[in-house]
């Protein structure tokens, strides 16, 4: 296990772990904003571009989040048609989602406090980002348990008895 603090979320998750995916990336977050990351030549681009690159390379991406993202995120999203057109990118809204989990290829998982935002993931300047902590694990049992947890949420195992269906924009079942 590895402890990840503050801006290390950006370097570890966004620059190393997620781009290395070969099969799939599952992301759960409460908040989702227009996170930007350093791209080729040091030019910043939306993190959605990184996800689009993964999808174009045959990686399945699942994204589950609690609320509809803001207008900047939606503008960025529209710039990457593969995220709309490909069956390899799936997105679900769940108003009860508060977990922050990233699973890559079923071999590495992150669990922590960081939302998928610039302030949460550490992509902002040191005086504008949140204080965040998380754990990265490669323990097969822990990764498998987190995968079962997210998969149950993904397929709607909790939807029927959720108690929040009145505010859920897209009930799974």
60 to 55, 70, 93, 150, 162: CA distances (angstroms):
6, 24, 18, 15, 27
7 lies in a domain? Answer: yes
164 lies in a domain? Answer: no
72 lies in a domain? Answer: yes
Range of the domain at 92: 2-154
137 lies in a domain? Answer: yes
Confidence bin at 80 (pLDDT 50/70/90): very high
pLDDT digits (tens, 9 = 90+) for 13-60: 999 999 999 999 999 999 988 888 887 787 889 999 999 999 999 999
Q: What is the CATH number of the domain that holds 132?
A: 3.30.870.10
162 lies in a domain? Answer: no
Q: How many domains does the chain have?
A: 1
173 lies in a domain? Answer: no
107 lies in a domain? Answer: yes
- Integer Cα distance of 79 and 112 in angstroms: 29
25 lies in a domain? Answer: yes
pLDDT at res. 123: 72
pLDDT at res. 152: 93
Q: Taking the CB of residue 154, how many other CB atoms lie within 10 A of it?
A: 17
* pTM score of the predicted model: 0.93
């Amino acid at each position: 296990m590895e402890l990840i603090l503050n801006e290390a979320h950006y370097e570890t998750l966004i620059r190393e772990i997620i781009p290395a995916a070969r099969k799939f990336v599952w992301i759960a977050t409460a908040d989702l904003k227009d996170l930007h990351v350093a791209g080729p030549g040091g030019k910043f681009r939306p993190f959605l571009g990184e996800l689009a690159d993964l999808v174009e390379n045959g990686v399945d991406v699942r994204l589950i989040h609690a609320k509809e993202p803001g207008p900047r995120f939606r503008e960025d999203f529209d710039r990457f048609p593969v995220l709309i057109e490909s069956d390899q990118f799936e997105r679900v809204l769940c108003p009860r989602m508060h977990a922050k989990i990233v699973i890559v290829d079923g071999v590495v998982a992150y669990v922590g406090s960081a939302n998928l935002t610039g302030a949460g993931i550490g992509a902002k300047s040191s005086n504008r980002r949140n204080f965040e902590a998380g754990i990265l694990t490669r323990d097969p049992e822990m990764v498998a348990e987190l995968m079962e947890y997210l998969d149950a949420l993904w397929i709607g195992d909790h939807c029927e008895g959720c108690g929040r269906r009145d505010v859920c924009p897209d009930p799974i079942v």
